[in-house]
Amino acid sequence: MNDNYTALIENLPDTVINKRDPSIAIPDILNSLKNGDRLSLIKSNDISAFCGIARGGAPFVPGFFVGGVAAISKKSSISFNKMDDNEVSCSFDEKLTKLFAFLAGTGQWLEKTLLKTSTIDYLTLLPIESNLIYVFQIDKSKNATLHINKEELSDFIVKRRQKRELTNFLEDKKQYICE
């Protein structure tokens, strides 16, 4: 399991756990849920960038636009699903998305520059335009589900702090892990 799951549990808002140890607070929250209800903790990091160049045109000499968008998104989540009074399902999900889009287009003389300096137009409106867009996207995801007794849940949450202890715990439970 990745360290992202440890950070999810350690960074729970005080309003959720009332300043208690997560190994006590999470089982208490699950006890208050109905069978089939779920407690999900989600951490998402996203970054994206856009860059483009545009040139306005005159009638019969269309302007052009060339640009690119790059984005990376990483989402980690852990869900505790109350199965029945004695069993909890822990689901771990991690998704990484990388995207690059290339845009090229031509305008038809109706370009309007809204923000510019003496040498650079920073914002140009192209109301009529023809575009070519290529998108490259890579998605990677990992997930696993572990079924454990409610009594073992606190132990599992405590052991997540030490990678060796967590690895040993998961090795003992590997027959209960679905990937």
Distance (Å, whole) CA 177 – CA 179? 7
Rounded to whole angstroms, what are the CA distances from 144 to 11, 59, 69, 124? 22, 59, 32, 48
Interval 143-167: pLDDT, tens: 888 888 877 877 777 766 666 776 7
Burial of 112 (0-12, 13-18, 19+ CB in 10 A): exposed
Interval 102-136: pLDDT, tens: 988 876 666 678 888 888 877 777 666 677 889 99
Query: How many residues comprise the chain?
Result: 179
pTM: 0.62
Tell how strand 121-125 and strand 112-116 pair up: antiparallel
